[in-house]
A and B are shown apart, each in its own frame.
Chain A
Amino acid sequence: MSQHSADWWYDEAAGPLVRPYAMVSGRTRPKPAGEELTLTTQVRALRTSSDHSSLSVEHLEIIKLCRKPLSVAEVAAYLHAPLVVVKVLLSDLIQRGDVITRDPSRTAVPVDLNLLQKVLDGVRAI
């Protein structure tokens, strides 16, 4: 994008129309359900039939994005929202049962030779 073009201050260059923290009513901390979320925690939407009427546009967008498992960082990137905002939104959805993470006791994968071998094989195969 050229800084000299007449329209450079519109759209993405001007920033979001909704201020990031307005998406979460000013909350800066996730609910307890989302405290364990890290950049790479995988989240996935459940096919629940819960009532979505109280959810915001961003919540619904996350549910749509997470039909396939995605990391918290990916959700933030696709949503164009800061990480902390996404963690707050995800914590709402986890508490409601609309989104799940891997069982917290299994989130921290122990780095052992078996795991590293899998990663090595995977990288060699790309």
Chain B
Amino acid sequence: MVSVQSEQRREELLVPSSVKIVVAGGFGVGKTTMVGAVSEITPLRTEELLTEAGEEIDDLAGVEGKNTTTVALDFGRITINPELVLYLFGTPGQDRFWFMWDELAMGSIGAVVLVDTRRLDAGFGAIDFFERRGIPFVVAVNCFEGSHSYTTDEMRVALDVADTVPLVLCDARDRESCKAVLVRVIEHAMNKLDVMA
């Protein structure tokens, strides 16, 4: 006869562990789109619609097509295997939600800072955040149609990111493109770990 305790222990083994990658960046840059492109579930969210008052506060220049924004959390999941699940969390885009970032970043294996060439400066805060905390991150430039194209060197200078930080071009709507970004984040995290060892 199996004891209750050993039965419970056996079931505990069936509870997977989890890891997360944070997708950060400015308001309206495509974080949710990126999460949705690779997630196995429709991104889950706790969302509030922007009110008219919010529109005055948020800088909408260049993103007029966006009516709503995520003011809470937005996430997707990728089941790696029965024992391990990867979660992708989008950060709240607006500055007034910075307090949420710490909980999100805690224990993450790495981060994507998604930037938009129309408003590169919107990525500065996120870059600074991950640099200070020593969290491995890559800068992914979401190439919207109609956005200016610059060379990666030009963008690296404009964003003032070190050569050691990978900078990649991507299309947040495209699954393969977003997969490639995640692969870069994980490889970068592995390299950083290797250097420290």
Contact B186 A39 (CB under 8 A): no
**Which residues of chain B from 1 to 16 have any CB-CB distance to chain A below 8 Å in the complex?**
8, 11-12, 14-16
Contact A126 B38 (CB under 8 A): yes
User: A-facing mask of B80-99, CB < 8 A → 1, else 0?
Assistant: 11001111010000000000
For residue A117, which residues in chain B have a CB less than 8 angstroms away from its CB? 190
Given known A118-B81, A119-B80, contact A73–B75 (CB-CB < 8 A): yes
Contact B183 A39 (CB under 8 A): no
Residue of A nearest to B18 (CB): A40
Contact A77 B103 (CB under 8 A): no
A102 within 8 A of B: yes
A116 within 8 A of B: yes
Contact A41 B18 (CB under 8 A): yes
Contact B84 A43 (CB under 8 A): no
User: A-facing mask of B51-93, CB < 8 A → 1, else 0?
Assistant: 0000000000000000000000101011111001111010000
Contact A73 B87 (CB under 8 A): yes
B residues with a Cβ closer than 8 A to A are 8, 11-12, 14-20, 38, 40, 44-46, 73, 75, 77-81, 84-87, 89, 103-104, 106-107, 109, 179, 182-183, 186-187, 189-190, 193-194
Contact B194 A44 (CB under 8 A): no
Q: How many A-B residue pairs have CB under 8 A?
A: 116
**Min C-beta distance of B3 to chain A, whole Å:** 14
**Min C-beta distance of A108 to chain B, whole Å:** 7
Interface size class of A (residues with CB under 8 A): 35 or more
Contact A46 B11 (CB under 8 A): yes
Given known A109-B17, A119-B84, contact A76–B89 (CB-CB < 8 A): no
A88 CA / B78 CA spacing, docked (Å): 26
Q: Which of A77, A116, A120 contacts B46 (CB 8 A)?
A: A77
Q: Which of A39, A102, A126 contacts B89 (CB 8 A)?
A: A39
Q: Which of B86, B107, B186 contacts A38 (CB 8 A)?
A: B107
Contact B183 A120 (CB under 8 A): yes
**Min C-beta distance of B125 to chain A, whole Å:** 21
For residue A118, which residues in chain B have a CB less than 8 angstroms away from its CB? 80-81, 84
Residue of B nearest to A109 (CB): B17
Contact A116 B107 (CB under 8 A): no
Q: Which of B45, B87, B194 contacts A40 (CB 8 A)?
A: B87
For residue B8, which residues in chain A have a CB less than 8 angstroms away from its CB? 46, 100
Q: Which of B17, B46, B186, B193 contacts A106 (CB 8 A)?
A: B17
Contact A119 B186 (CB under 8 A): yes
For residue A71, which residues in chain B have a CB less than 8 angstroms away from its CB? 18, 77, 85, 87
Q: Which of A101, A112, A119 contacts B86 (CB 8 A)?
A: A119
A52 within 8 A of B: no
Given known A39-B104, A43-B15, contact A122–B194 (CB-CB < 8 A): no
Residue of A nearest to B175 (CB): A126
User: B-facing mask of A14-55, CB < 8 A → 1, else 0?
Assistant: 000000000000000000000000111111101000000000
A7 within 8 A of B: no
